Structure 1
């Protein structure tokens, strides 16, 4: 009999372990650099059938519950001592495939990050209801497509034949101005599917994904592909992602994170417009879509297609090293499909027409808009959003700044007072602190003010505005002024009758390594929307005609410009000819991290330079030392993480916005 006042306790017999492969190697969702490795757990017999490689599990780690993925099951652990047990199997669906797990490790090493951070980008959150539903059966492979527009590209038919035969061609592709790039992409995907392999296409935004999806459906019908984009709800996105994982869809079209989609038997990776900054992931470890896909192609032996109307220096490097071959239209085809592009300086005072002066346009630009409106819609590209994003004193030209935070003042509308662009403080009675003047002048003009001025000049003409906070997908063929920021240009039925590219000088003189490259990319993106051919639409770019980017636009020569750009960067030891790491954080934290880094030989350390977040240091090394630099930074971050001292330091490898 038990003693009075004491509770009788019953000891629980531990559940036996799995008979086969009782140890699970688990990648725990802990983003600390010094814990960036798998850990061993024993598998209870009740979980033996569900804790498969790739499954989501819950474990106890450092006194707290964490989720993780089973990487593999093994017979015994190399760890000496007792192992903790798996807490539970969250889902037996093997969502982390061996290929994606290898890719996550490679990307983490390439960008000095952790696998846990990469997997947050690669594997979407679980949607249990969706996961319990079966995916549809995979349709039979389509027939190999006809060449279509690829017949106008040197080597285009050969590439399609190679894809259909299960081979792995690698190309940098620049279609001509009139090239239907969604249809050309769809034909490359269809050829890959016809060869019995999967395809993955990553584009900058949802509008581009919808265009490629529509082209694929028109070419080979429904059921062969899924679209992965951020705008889809969690259930719909997860359902489509599972369709790729389970093999019911052979092709995936999507935006940035789709680069990690678990496509089976991957035979083709394609990135369109790789110079678009939407391909740069804003979350750690900040990978770029192009680099993720190229790493994936190398690992799986898949074909690779890097496409765009413009060509980046990184794509040019692929050609220079022999990793890829050029895939371009012949010059005769380019001349036949190119609209006429003219240039004019941006000195508005030279305009003789009163209407041109009131719209801040040179006479040639004003006449091009007027004549174009007689035949259809006219596109006006403005590089800045807002109304007047920059203002200064009307007398002494001193920049107007906030007295509270020193931020720049800007005007949101004509009937509103200027406000600070940083803290939003309004200044209804602004007075220049330098000369006491009370009037403001514009130093830069946004899309809103441009639309207002053009509407006053071309009275009776509808004005359509398309920008980041309100993007129009399409406009009709009727005459209209379509004022848009770069990347937000709507498609026009039958193409635009003319295009006007404003404020080119401001685009070329931005303090960025890629200013000229980005300007050419944006201009080409607008020109291809104009009716093709010498008898089609007219284009006027308002900037210095002698700038190399402007001359490349007039000649439609993305290859020549990219070659020159790469040569200049090689001479200056800048990416992609060199590898660069950017460290940003508090001064003491950046210094502490640098003290732990064993930088490779020939490394150059630039900085520290003050920033809004503290300081920035740039480490530059020859391209061949990039892997060693990333490894050294990962090791140093691990040392600081293990010490649990200091604040965070953001590490970005080869950032696209350097400078």
Structure 2
């Protein structure tokens, strides 16, 4: 496959009689292109050609295994068109590298699939939950957005839905954010589906193991495929159900071109195959809510009385004068008395306490104590941090250089203060606040899987919260301003998702579970947590984005590169009439650059916005412009992202 944009098209080659039997559509081959051998795939066999010149011969068939199936090829074309990318880039994501020795191994003989009984009564807690599973069993294209109850064992529910589809003779694909989620669903799935027919795909597998499992999917022996974002392209036979869990997680967005999101690819696949789809989570994204509002999917939500019974009690900072008189430092203290009381009550009841902090490390950001200017590295202007208490000076988070002597470039002061407090520093503070209580930290490379049901304080960053046997007695959500105050389109949505992920690990209110969020009650995101109402929050988020024309209410392309290259791209592209140009703006130092761009050159960003129905037209225009500029070879590289996850 040729990754150069202006060569992203089909080429005709002659096939010799000796190669004819093996050179079937979908197999890997080697061809000579412009004097060198390149890898390729056979797309189709024809007896004629529209090429007017002399045709070259196929060099050799690498393998007779048809790894590029017609369904996956159609999905690759759709993803390339949706995200203004090249098919070669999408194929790289969809088809793993070949492992010859694995491919030559004979597949294991499997016994006929034996259906296991499935208990789906737990789905009755959700309105139309049982009807949805009946539609999946009947093979209908039922699509839903599932709002999981607090504390719901989501892996068991997804395993039950998958078993219903498998027992009806169809394949199932489940896409999850990370390896921990994959392991949880796999453990639940083998209780409801024959273990020999369940395959887990993830980046952590070695090349041989991953290719062996992927081949079992291709050859039809695997009926339930569980994996991270790249598994969304897995060649599942007779696909009947596509499931995506926690679609708001950043890891579901591919960091490589053309930067597709696994949720969008999964929905494209469900649309193409007319199969069932399920998007689930404790929180809800505006994109998922847009699917419900457009009637492409329907809600699976439990009644309010059921939600209230399953959720913990949530308390926040009160805004009344009486509350401020009772606790004057509540709005300025990092650990107000409200949070300390909640934690002490849980510890007295012999239950662990979860403390969620947004940042890992000790003090990940410093500022001048006099003028509050952010402390930056003298070499690369990166932010300075304090890795631990023993370190004499600061360390740059970008280049790693030590800064033994700190002096503010603005006012000359040598005094610094903490802008953000990390997990390790928080653990120190809590150790002093609760003497004699075990303090456990989880985050980064030192993640803890679970903790016992005994008094302890667990300090964790979002996504690294360990599970507690029997649930936590309480959870403290600290430094809310660090999450809500980010200059990001999805700041409120992502904050609620992280809070709910932590709060769902807490016991329900009937068992004394409580969550203390250190934020003002009047903030809409805090209100949504108190009411445990992510649906209304997502609906309000979607409404506000619709008013200002932001995704998913509109489609937006981010064009990054050198200012001249960005200008040339937009001048070349025949943009739709409804397109609006926003910018340009200069990206900060340290921002991710287009591949091949010099490290010291400035990066400019231009946003192009079109109405919701103009997304494919915009992508096609930018794709054509990329092809033209690629053929000219007179501009620096430009990165094009359709509906980027973070706009700013």
- The TM-score normalised by the length of structure 1 is 0.93
- The answer to whether the Cα contact below 8 Å between 2:27 and 2:64 also exists between their aligned partners in 1 is yes
Of structures 1 and 2, the larger Rg is shown by: 1
Alpha-carbon distance, 1:82 to partner: 2.3
Q: Deviations over 1:234-273 (max 9, x none)?
A: 1111111111110111010000000000000000001000
Aligned counterpart for 1:265 among listed residues 233, 238, 243: 238
Quick check: 1:33 aligned with 2:27?
Answer: no
**Counterpart position of 2:370:** 395
Aligned counterpart for 1:334 among listed residues 307, 315, 321: 307
**Counterpart position of 2:532:** 556
Distance in 2 between residues matched to 1:240 and 1:600, nearest whole Å: 44
Quick check: 1:196 aligned with 2:169?
Answer: yes
Q: Secondary structure at the match of 1:607?
A: strand
Q: Secondary structure at the match of 2:98?
A: coil
Judge which range, 138-147 or 496-505, deviates more: 138-147
**Counterpart position of 1:645:** 634
Quick check: 1:428 aligned with 2:404?
Answer: yes
Equivalent residues, number: 630
Q: Secondary structure at the match of 2:583?
A: strand
TM-aligned CA distance change 1:300 to 1:357, over 3 Å: closer
- The answer to whether the Cα contact below 8 Å between 1:139 and 1:248 also exists between their aligned partners in 2 is no
**Counterpart position of 1:115:** 87
Distance in 1 between residues matched to 2:363 and 2:239, nearest whole Å: 48
Q: Secondary structure at the match of 2:192?
A: helix
Q: Secondary structure at the match of 2:146?
A: strand
- The answer to whether the Cα contact below 8 Å between 1:50 and 1:92 also exists between their aligned partners in 2 is yes
Q: Counterparts of 1:10-159 in structure 2 under 5 Å? A: 29-136=1-108, 137=110, 139-143=112-116, 145-159=118-132
Alpha-carbon distance, 1:431 to partner: 2.8
Quick check: 1:446 aligned with 2:418?
Answer: no
Quick check: 1:598 aligned with 2:574?
Answer: yes
Gaps of 5+ in 1: 1-28
Quick check: 1:385 aligned with 2:357?
Answer: no
TM-aligned CA distance change 1:360 to 1:320, over 3 Å: closer
**Counterpart position of 2:249:** 276
- The answer to whether the Cα contact below 8 Å between 1:228 and 1:241 also exists between their aligned partners in 2 is yes
Aligned counterpart for 1:490 among listed residues 452, 457, 466: 466
Q: Secondary structure at the match of 2:42?
A: strand
Q: Secondary structure at the match of 1:218?
A: coil
Q: Deviations over 1:59-105 (max 9, x none)?
A: 01122110011111112222123211111111111111000000001
Distance in 2 between residues matched to 1:211 and 1:405, nearest whole Å: 42
TM-aligned CA distance change 1:289 to 1:141, over 3 Å: farther
**Counterpart position of 2:335:** 361
Distance in 2 between residues matched to 1:565 and 1:167, nearest whole Å: 31
**Counterpart position of 1:459:** 435
Judge which range, 593-602 or 253-262, deviates more: 593-602
Alpha-carbon distance, 1:426 to partner: 1.8
Quick check: 1:510 aligned with 2:486?
Answer: yes
Aligned counterpart for 1:160 among listed residues 130, 133, 143: 133
- The TM-score normalised by the length of structure 2 is 0.94
**Counterpart position of 1:13:** none
Q: Secondary structure at the match of 2:77?
A: helix
**Counterpart position of 2:599:** none
Distance in 1 between residues matched to 2:84 and 2:257, nearest whole Å: 9
Distance in 1 between residues matched to 2:83 and 2:412, nearest whole Å: 51
**Counterpart position of 2:604:** 615
Quick check: 1:290 aligned with 2:263?
Answer: yes
Q: Secondary structure at the match of 1:482?
A: strand
Alpha-carbon distance, 1:456 to partner: 2.2
**Counterpart position of 1:217:** 190
Judge which range, 391-400 or 185-194, deviates more: 391-400
Alpha-carbon distance, 1:414 to partner: 1.1
Distance in 1 between residues matched to 2:413 and 2:318, nearest whole Å: 31
Judge which range, 106-115 or 431-440, deviates more: 431-440
Q: Secondary structure at the match of 2:541?
A: helix
Distance in 2 between residues matched to 1:488 and 1:242, nearest whole Å: 32
Q: Deviations over 1:581-615 (max 9, x none)?
A: 00001111111111101111121101111113510
Q: Secondary structure at the match of 1:592?
A: helix
Aligned counterpart for 1:247 among listed residues 220, 230, 236: 220
Alpha-carbon distance, 1:526 to partner: 0.6
- The answer to whether the Cα contact below 8 Å between 2:329 and 2:336 also exists between their aligned partners in 1 is no
**Counterpart position of 2:596:** none
- The answer to whether the Cα contact below 8 Å between 1:359 and 1:453 also exists between their aligned partners in 2 is no
Q: Secondary structure at the match of 1:431?
A: coil
Q: Secondary structure at the match of 1:441?
A: strand
Distance in 1 between residues matched to 2:229 and 2:550, nearest whole Å: 25
TM-aligned CA distance change 1:351 to 1:525, over 3 Å: farther
Q: Counterparts of 1:497-576 in structure 2 under 5 Å? A: 497-576=473-552
Alpha-carbon distance, 1:333 to partner: 1.1
TM-aligned CA distance change 1:351 to 1:187, over 3 Å: farther
Distance in 2 between residues matched to 1:609 and 1:103, nearest whole Å: 34
**Counterpart position of 1:657:** 646
- The answer to whether the Cα contact below 8 Å between 1:530 and 1:536 also exists between their aligned partners in 2 is no
Aligned counterpart for 2:346 among listed residues 355, 358, 372: 372
**Counterpart position of 1:234:** 207
Distance in 2 between residues matched to 1:647 and 1:230, nearest whole Å: 32
Distance in 2 between residues matched to 1:230 and 1:354, nearest whole Å: 50
Q: Secondary structure at the match of 1:326?
A: strand
